[in-house]
Structure 1
Amino acid sequence: MKRFMKYAEIRQLHAEGFSINSIAKKLNMSRNTVKDYMGMAPEEFEDFLISLRHRSKKLDPFRDPILHWLQEHPDLTGAQVHDWLEERMSFRGATENTVRNYVNELREMYHIPKKIQHRNYSATPESFPGQQGQVDFGQTVVKKKTGGHKRLYFIAFVLSHSRYKYVEWLDRPFRTADVVRCHENAFAYYEGMPAEMVYDQDALLAVSENAGDLILTAEFTKYQTARGFKVYLCRKSDPESKGKIEQVVKFVKYNFSKNRVFDQLATWNEACLAWLKRTGNRKVHHNIKKRPFEVHALEKQHLQKVSTTYLFEHHLSSSIPRTIHKDNVIRYLQNRYSVPSGTYREQASNKAYLQIIEGRTLLIRLKPTGPVLATHPLSEKKGIVISDPRHRVKSESKRSLLIHELSDAFSNKAGIQWFIEALTEKYPRHLIDQLKVIQQTIRAHPNSIEAALKDIQKLQLISGNDFRDMAYSLDRQVQLSSSPDVSLNPKYMEWKAPERSSDTYLNVLKGGRGS
């Protein structure tokens, strides 16, 4: 039906005086196809369509399995079907475009529509060989072979120049030790290490030690220092900084894991490595127009050699990440342990780090190396709550007291309220640190805080450190403007330089040889 409609449009446009080139451009068709269609009478074109129905196609022997895949998974892409044909049928006799066209015909014939998801990415500058690698995390929910569903987590690496990828999966959230181990596996897979690695501001890699200004965690810093690669931290979902790895995460989700059935983690990772070899690193990349594995063969000569295996077990601390739940408890070994009331906060990461002392005592911290938030004896029982009575009492929080103090210090109530709300949204876990910076600034520069707040709001600078620097700068300008300037003192304005005759200067220019 679609071909017949095109045929009718071509004849109508030709009758209206359009040229073959104009018709081809207008209908997005090739010039030769338009010319062939125009040379057929309606009866001849009908016979042509009938012949197409009975013409055998290269993918006809695989029609039933492809149709079964589409009916079971209507959101399958042509690229996935192409990969599945190679993986499950060992068939390599068709290009991806051929498979895509065949899939589209089956969708139309059997009325299997496909829901398309759109996502915009920005172009990113190309990197030199061996210059940069990018890292990101992803997760997805897949069907289990035994029934039900399973959430899986993965870490993805890509070399920015060659687009050569590496992926590793876990059936639980990643810990810092897992991230280090996966880095070592990726460098072994790449046969070297790039000079720079790009990351999200992820809790596994970066925490605040300066009122929200990001640094690496102590655990990852030890590894990064030992290996010597540079680190660049960027904002989450920032295609301008890490668009290449964003595309890889999407590729892994929608080409490898989508509609795949999970059995065991080991076999899942083996299948992923096979997919990387077969498709992920073999398929021609749409930007560089080359196969990543071929470009990597040249790029690996520029990678830094990784001589020995990093013994990360001896470098990382024994902190165990856990989630703080709404009822202000963390779960460990089928028990629940309390933290102080108010520790859990809406829209915050609510991460805690556990440390076991001599197998008897549980320490809970908000940072891997931070102060102890709670201490509990480890229980050998199961399914119980171990609670500290002091955690149930909550007086007015330090944060509330700081907010009241800061609000009273400013006459611009609307401005300080905006600033505190903006800081709360940007630094949910480090708000008190930010408020303390403002508190110290008020004490150090009381005469400049109102003007600093006005400038901060105008420039949309959401940081206590920026507020401090602005107040200091304004205070300094006031001090300089009020300091005495001898050039403006009336006493010195009456002074005049002594006047000499021109003969004096002529003698100086002659060099004074006669004297």
Structure 2
Amino acid sequence: MQSHEKQVIPERGSKLDPYKDTIQKLMNLGIFNCEVIYERIKEEGYTGGRTILRDYVRQFRPPKQVPAVCRYETKPGQQAQVDWGEYTYIDEETGEIRKLYVFVMVLGYSRAIYVEFTNRCDVHTFIRCLIHGFEYFGGVTDIVLTDRMKTVILGTGENKKPIWNPTFEDLAATLGFIPKVCRARRPQTKGKVESGIDFVKNNFLPGRKFVDYGDLNRQAIVWCEKKNRRIHGTTGERPIDRLKKENLKPLPALDKYQKFLEEARKVHKDGFLSFDGVRYGVPWQYSGKEVVVRDKNGKIEILYDGKVIAVHEKHYRSRSTVFLKDQYKGLKEAEGMFYPRPRAIKLSSLEVEKRPL
């Protein structure tokens, strides 16, 4: 009887086989980039394709690594982290996509958050938002940590120390905090506020409806109040409760930092100046003059030579025009001139007879 033994078919060799030692040595060095490996074994005579190489390397490739960092916890009252974010919204009236900016401030110990939206992100706006944040929290931290934003840092000097914007540096001295910048290429040192920016963008803004910046900021404060009363995922406590332990330094009297809430503006010929995208009226006599605009508790005060010449309710709708009562009173009679126009004088006939020759 004839025996039927199973025929053993020898495995076909792979084009990679002669080069697996080289591949293994490269992988031992942490090189798993198949393009790099391909070029190396090609120099040794490999004639195969990239696909078979990728399939082979895949089984040895380690999982993607995320660099570990040390969590930095701040002491009560030690640090506030601040940052700008940028977002877009749809203007329902025009259908245009417009840009807005969000200022976020987070206290390092309590994780209490303050949010304010603006239509610009210059140093004056940043300082105004920072002051509003300290007023919201009821005091000042020892340190304010920012990234390398151009609004507050003009460059770097000796030993790579930041050259601060003089106005921001003056504010720091006035309020009593130390400005610090997070290390280059180490944004995780400012992680608390970074996560706050992301949370605002992903949870507060999407689908939110608002009339103007004033309306949006009122909604933002309500949102902050709710968030500060929820259990924080990291601390396991409510920020509002930890805020009581912050021991913040009191703000100085308002007159000490009032100047940081003021900006200079030029009055146009029509008696209006522009502030935050809104045109505010002043008495026509100040046309062409440089005045000071003070943003104070929902009011816009306009001063000339230290004297208040106009007060308006703050408006938030961009391109609005806000008139002042009796703004043009006396303009027609004065023919637009603040001082009387020089004129010749016609004398009476009697005065002509008495005139010396």
TM-score (norm 2): 0.51
Aligned match for 2:232, one of 285, 306, 310 = 285
Matched positions, count: 202
Query: Is residue 175–residue 252 contact of structure 2 (8 Å, CA) maintained in 1?
Result: no
Q: Deviation of residue 254 (structure 1)?
A: 0.6
Q: What secondary structure, in the 3-state scheme, does the structure 2 residue paired with 1:311 have? A: helix
Partner of 1:244: 192
Mapped to 1, the partners of 2:248 and 2:163 lie a distance apart of: 26
Q: Deviation of residue 181 (structure 1)?
A: 1.6
* 1:289–1:262 distance in 2 versus 1, CA, 3 Å: same
Partner of 1:263: 211
Query: Is residue 90–residue 97 contact of structure 2 (8 Å, CA) maintained in 1?
Result: yes
Query: Quick check: which one's strand share is greater?
Result: 2
The runs of 5 or more residues in structure 2 that have no matched partner are 1-65, 267-273, 275-287, 291-357
Mapped to 2, the partners of 1:144 and 1:207 lie a distance apart of: 34
Aligned match for 1:185, one of 129, 132, 139 = 132
Amino acid at match of 2:253: T
Partner of 1:196: 143
Aligned match for 1:304, one of 234, 242, 249 = 249
Aligned residue runs from structure 1 range 3-402, under 5 A: 124-146=71-93, 147-171=95-119, 173-208=120-155, 210=157, 213-235=161-183, 238-278=186-226, 280-299=227-246, 302-309=247-254, 310-313=256-259
Q: What secondary structure, in the 3-state scheme, does the structure 1 residue paired with 2:74 have? A: coil
Amino acid at match of 2:199: F
Query: Is residue 142–residue 261 contact of structure 1 (8 Å, CA) maintained in 2?
Result: no
Q: Deviation of residue 235 (structure 1)?
A: 4.2
* 1:267–1:139 distance in 2 versus 1, CA, 3 Å: same
Q: What secondary structure, in the 3-state scheme, does the structure 2 residue paired with 1:261 have? A: coil
Q: Deviation of residue 183 (structure 1)?
A: 1.7
Please list the CA deviations of residues 143-199 of structure 1 after superposition, one character each: whole Å capped at 9, or x if unmatched.
33433322110111011001000011112x222121222122111111111111101
* 1:182–1:123 distance in 2 versus 1, CA, 3 Å: same
Mapped to 1, the partners of 2:242 and 2:187 lie a distance apart of: 23
Q: Deviation of residue 313 (structure 1)?
A: 3.1
* 1:120–1:232 distance in 2 versus 1, CA, 3 Å: same
Q: Deviation of residue 358 (structure 1)?
A: 7.1
* 1:247–1:132 distance in 2 versus 1, CA, 3 Å: same
Q: What secondary structure, in the 3-state scheme, does the structure 2 residue paired with 1:303 have? A: coil
* 1:130–1:176 distance in 2 versus 1, CA, 3 Å: same
The runs of 5 or more residues in structure 1 that have no matched partner are 1-118, 321-332, 334-356, 360-515
Q: Deviation of residue 125 (structure 1)?
A: 1.3
Query: Is residue 142–residue 149 contact of structure 1 (8 Å, CA) maintained in 2?
Result: yes
Partner of 2:349: none
Mapped to 2, the partners of 1:229 and 1:249 lie a distance apart of: 23
Query: Is residue 121–residue 239 contact of structure 1 (8 Å, CA) maintained in 2?
Result: no
Aligned residue runs from structure 1 range 488-507, under 5 A: none
Runs of 4 or more above 6 Å deviation? 314-317
Please list the CA deviations of residues 94-134 of structure 1 after superposition, one character each: whole Å capped at 9, or x if unmatched.
xxxxxxxxxxxxxxxxxxxxxxxxx9995531111111111
Amino acid at match of 1:225: A
Mapped to 2, the partners of 1:140 and 1:316 lie a distance apart of: 26
Mapped to 2, the partners of 1:143 and 1:137 lie a distance apart of: 20
Mapped to 1, the partners of 2:209 and 2:69 lie a distance apart of: 33
Mapped to 1, the partners of 2:146 and 2:86 lie a distance apart of: 16
Amino acid at match of 1:313: K
Please list the CA deviations of residues 381-400 of structure 1 after superposition, one character each: whole Å capped at 9, or x if unmatched.
xxxxxxxxxxxxxxxxxxxx
